[in-house]
Amino acid sequence: MKLSFTSEQLQEVQRLISRYPEGREKSALIPILHLAQDTFGGWLSTEVMDYVASLLQLKPIEVYEVASFYSMFNLSPVGKNLLEVCQTGPCMLNGSDSIVEYIYERLGIGPGETTKDGQFTLKTVECLGACGYAPMLQLGEHYKEHLTKEKIDALIESCYAKSAALN
Amino acid sequence: MGRKLLLEKAQVENIRSYEVYRKQGGYRSVEKALKTLSPDQVTEEVKKSGLRGRGGAGFPTGMKWSFLAKPTGVPRYLVVNADESEPGTFKDRYLMEFIPHLLIEGMITSSYALGSNRSYIYIRGEYAWITHILEQAIEEARQHGWLGKNILGSGFDCDIYVQRGAGAYICGEETALLESLEGKRGNPRIKPPFPAVKGLWGCPTVVNNVETIAALVPIINEGGEEYAKIGVGKSTGTKLISACGNINKPGVYEIDMTISVEEFIFSDEYCGGIPQGKKLKACIPGGSSVPILPANLLLKTAKGETRMMNYESLADGGFASGSMMGSGGFIVMDDSQCVVRHTYTLARFYRHESCGQCSPCREGTGWMEKILWNLETGKGRSSDIDLLWDIQRKIEGNTICPLGDAAAWPVAAAIRHFRDEFEWHVTHPEEAQKRNYGLAHYADPLLAPVA
């Protein structure tokens, strides 16, 4: 099956392109890659990147080289819930190492690994600009801050509950 | 209590909405600028204010604006740098999240001064929810006639767009940011030409930090000269400090640059001291790139003067015994923390964020990370410390952009001031796995000025 945005999403693509002067459509590449990643399963397959290239009339390599540069773009499959734990200086001072350890204890996954049921992927990331609210992680569009073991337990439960509700 | 110019209204209920913001006096500076001042007069006010770039380098904003080339028939651009990524820094996020119209207001006046009809906010990709907040504020401003065609009948047209990045510290460097905004990898450009001559899509461009542009609002409302009266010396106006690490009250504080570092850390009005009765060991006062200082050099300069929270005082003594105001990312470490481990996390950060164009940075950052990991895990040799020093020295100044310097400085300062702690990791590898070095002598009174 050939993948495609919905007509609503294609309108959004046009809106993104219209923010730039004529002839500068390539500037919309990163915003469109975000949209593509959110739409097609949380990561960018070659097929998805080729599709984005066709929308912007770019050579596929122009998309690959950008997608591979930015750490938010996932080039391999991830779980339904991507837990991105910050581990840079200020978070480390406030115990981010123990957060990573606790997630391993709870879910049996280390950085870069996905649970067998495909629910969770753990990723360690560098500074997310939440240093005053450390330790923290990002889940989707949101930050979860001042983390404790109890908060991680609750977070994991709510993710499971959400996916059970969807099934 | 110092004056607040930016965050004074940040806690007003619903200040995020246009109606409340406007009722609180919002958008007055746009009215004043567009109705009573010429673009050049706005720039003059900025020069008089003494405003310095709030992103980290502290370059005078008015001067930066005066470099903007103005060839006829060529569009000019204002790009706001909201790619806040320097570890320890989260002030722009606070400003945009709680009082987004302040940035939009500052941007309209700045765009008018610079002649930018299409201005962009480049925001780090992780701040996804703030992107929505900003887009809503822009839409409200447009509906009320502050954006669009012929604003307030002045003949000036302006639109503002938000562009999300996708996770790359390097895109806070202005030419990398422009590359990214053009839909490319964030590789910094070789300068010259500077963005003021060839910036976004090859056109003259000014890139300014969020806080810098927000400061236009009080500067225009009160006048540049009045703004310059706040603060001390060349540190005019107010500065947002994001405080974090081992303190009782982490958060964003607006200071007028006349308070001491000691007051900032220990007074209840600001950081509220160190938790659990622990002692102050060290601090990185301006974001992870600037030199770390031990407690004694942080609170007093090598000359024995009280160190103040402003550009000049924080830099007093140069890199030998001082640091920098930088981005205002204020990271405090208590006596239970390990300087070697902390430096390792920063080295890992810079290795991860190096764009890979310049070999000293690409190779050097990874090399430093590995050596620091060995030292931290008890596998280091005493020659490693000199090797680290040698590597950082060979990175600094030898790269296209300042990321190389930013990676070198934290390592250099850690060795400069905490060498005994590094040596202890080599001589006591097993003990260093079980406990940290502690406060040691880092808070002792200084006997002699540091060479």
**pLDDT score of A136:** 97
Mean pLDDT over residues B334-362, rounded?
Answer: 97
Distance, in Å, from the CA atom of A80 to the CA atom of A107, rounded to the nearest integer, reads: 14
Q: Does A76 reside within a domain?
A: no
Q: Do residues B219 and B325 both lie within one domain?
A: no
Is residue B441 domain-resident? no
User: What CATH number has the domain bearing residue B298?
Assistant: 3.10.20.600
* Best residue of B76, B81, B90, B355 to probe chain A, by most A CBs closer than 10 Å: B90
Q: Are B60 and B192 contained in the same domain?
A: yes
- Domain of A58, CATH number, reads 1.10.10
State the CATH number of the domain containing residue B66: 3.40.50.11540
pLDDT at res. B445: 86
- A134:B353 CB<8 A: no
Task: Give, for B280, the enclosing helix (H) or strand (E).
Answer: strand B280-284
Q: Is residue B351 located within the same domain as residue B427?
A: yes
The CA angle B117-A70-A102, to the nearest 5 degrees, is 125
What is the rounded CA–CA span in Å between residue B33 and residue B222? Answer: 12
Report the Cα–Cα distance between both ends of chain B, in Å, rounded: 36
Residues B311 and B347 grouped into a single domain: no
Number of domains in chain B: 3
> Helix or strand or coil: residue B391?
helix
Q: Do A155 and A96 belong together in one domain?
A: yes
Instruction: Return the pLDDT at A2.
Output: 80
**Structural domain boundaries, residue A57:** 7-67
Q: How far is CA B96 from each of CA A76, B99, B158, B333, rounded to the nearest angstrom?
A: 33, 6, 20, 28
Q: Using one digit for the tens of pLDDT, what is the confidence trace for B247-258?
A: 999 999 999 999
Best CA proximity match to B80, nearest among B133, B28, B118, B37: B118
| Shared-domain flag, residues A109 and A43 | no
Q: Are residues A86 and A32 in the same domain?
A: no
Give ∠ CA B82-B84-B88 in degrees, rounded to 5.
155
| Domain boundary residue, one of B198, B229, B260 | B229
CB contact under 8 A, B88 and A66: no
B252 contacts on A by Cβ (under 8 Å) = 132
pLDDT tops 60 at residue B108: yes
Do both A60 and A88 map to the same domain?
A: no
Q: What is the mean pLDDT of chain B?
A: 96
SS3 B251: strand
Give the chain A residue whose CA is nearest to the CA of B333. A93
Query: Does residue B58 belong to any structural domain of this protein?
Result: yes
Percent of chain B predicted with pLDDT > 90: 96
Same domain, B242 and B93: no
Q: Which of A44, A67, A90 is the last residue of a domain?
A: A67
For B157-206, give the DSSP string. Answer: -BEEEEEE--S-GGGGSHHHHHHHHTTS--PPPPSSSPTTTS-GGGS-EE
If you average pLDDT over residues B326-339, what whole number do you get?
Answer: 96
Q: Taking CA B370 as the corner, what is the angle to CA B373 and CA B327, rounded to the nearest 5 degrees? A: 80
Residue A52 lies in a domain: yes
Task: State the total domains in chain A.
Answer: 2
Are the C-beta atoms of residues B374 and B384 closer than 8 Å to each other? yes
Nearest alpha carbon to residue B116 among B164, B159, B153: B159
Domain assignment of residue A16, yes or no: yes
Query: Which chain B residues are Cβ-neighbours of A90 within 8 angstroms?
Result: 87-88, 244-245, 331
B-chain CB neighbours of A65 within 8 Å are 184-185
Instruction: Give the C-alpha separation, B248 to B274, whole Å.
Output: 6
Is the pLDDT at A50 greater than 60? The verdict is yes
Query: Would you say residue A61 lies in a domain?
Result: yes
List pLDDT tens digits, range B213-223: 999 999 999 99
Same domain, B206 and B103: yes
Q: B231 pLDDT band (50/70/90 cuts)?
A: confident
Q: Are B424 and B341 in contact (CB under 8 A)?
A: no
Give all strands (DSSP E) within chain A, no chain letters. Answer: 81-86, 120-125, 137-139, 142-144
Residues spanned by the domain of B301? 235-334
The CATH number of whichever domain residue B392 belongs to comes to 1.20.1440.230
What pLDDT is recorded for position A167?
73
Sign of the four-CA dihedral B131, B75, B210, B150: negative
User: Residue B448 pLDDT > 70, yes or no?
Assistant: no
Residues B223 and B284 occupy one common structural domain: no
Whether residue B241 sits in one domain with residue B328: yes
Q: Is the pLDDT of residue B227 over 90?
A: yes
Are B163 and A27 an interchain contact pair (Cβ–Cβ within 8 Å)? yes
pLDDT in tens, A4-31: 999 999 999 999 999 999 999 999 999 9
Which residues in chain A are contacts of B116 at CB distance < 8 A? Answer: none
Whether A63 and A17 share a structural domain: yes
With a cut of 70, say whether residue B451 has pLDDT above it: no
Q: Is residue A20 part of a domain?
A: yes
DSSP B431-442: HHHHS---STTT
Residue A60, Cβ density class (10 Å: 0-12 exposed, 13-18 middle, ≥19 buried): middle
- In this complex, which of A65, A72, A142 lies closest to B185 when CB atoms are compared? A65
**Amino acid identity for residue A96 in this structure:** S
Task: Assess whether B189 and B261 both reside in one domain.
Answer: no
Q: From the CB of residue A106, how many other CB atoms can be counted at a distance below 10 Å?
A: 15
- What CATH number has the domain bearing residue A97? 3.40.30.10
Say whether A21 and B250 touch across the interface (CB within 8 A): no
- Decide if A2 is inside a domain: no
Question: Is residue B134 in a domain?
Answer: yes
Same-domain status, B25 and B64: yes
The answer to whether residue B444 sits within a structural domain is no
> Do residues B171 and B312 share a domain?
no
Q: Is residue A74 included in any domain, yes or no?
A: no
For residue B282, is it within any domain? yes
**Per-residue pLDDT, B2:** 73
- Give the nearest chain B residue to A133 (CA atoms): B250
Write the DSSP symbol of residue A72: T
> What pLDDT, in 10s, does the model give residues B45-92?
999 999 999 998 899 999 999 999 999 999 999 999 999 999 999 999
Residues B291-330 have pLDDT tens digits of 999 999 999 999 999 999 999 999 999 999 999 999 999 9
Shared-domain flag, residues B125 and B191? yes
Across the interface, whether the CB atoms of A89 and B346 are under 8 A apart is answered: yes
- Per-residue pLDDT band for B144 (boundaries 50, 70, 90) equals very high
Q: CA of A68 to nearest chain B CA: how many angstroms apart?
A: 9
C-alpha dist (Å) from residue B139 to A96, B28, B136, B161, B257: 38, 18, 5, 10, 35
Q: Are residues A148 and A102 in the same domain?
A: yes
Mean pLDDT, all residues of chain A: 96
Shared domain for A105 and A144, answered yes or no, is yes
Residue A1 has pLDDT above 60, yes or no: no
Find out whether A140 and A93 touch, Cβ atoms under 8 Å: no
| A160 shares its domain with A89 | yes
Contact residues, chain A, for B346 at CB < 8 Å: 88-89
Contact A126 B86 (CB under 8 A): no
Residue A143 included in any domain: yes
Do residues A143 and A97 both lie within one domain? yes
The interface predicted TM-score (ipTM) is 0.96
Asked if B348's CB is within 8 angstroms of A126's CB, the reply is yes
**Beta-carbon contacts below 8 Å between A and B:** 137
Q: Is the pLDDT of residue B449 over 70?
A: no
Residue carrying the six token digits 């123990």? A98
CA–CA distances in Å: residue B211 to residues B78, B83, B288: 14, 12, 19
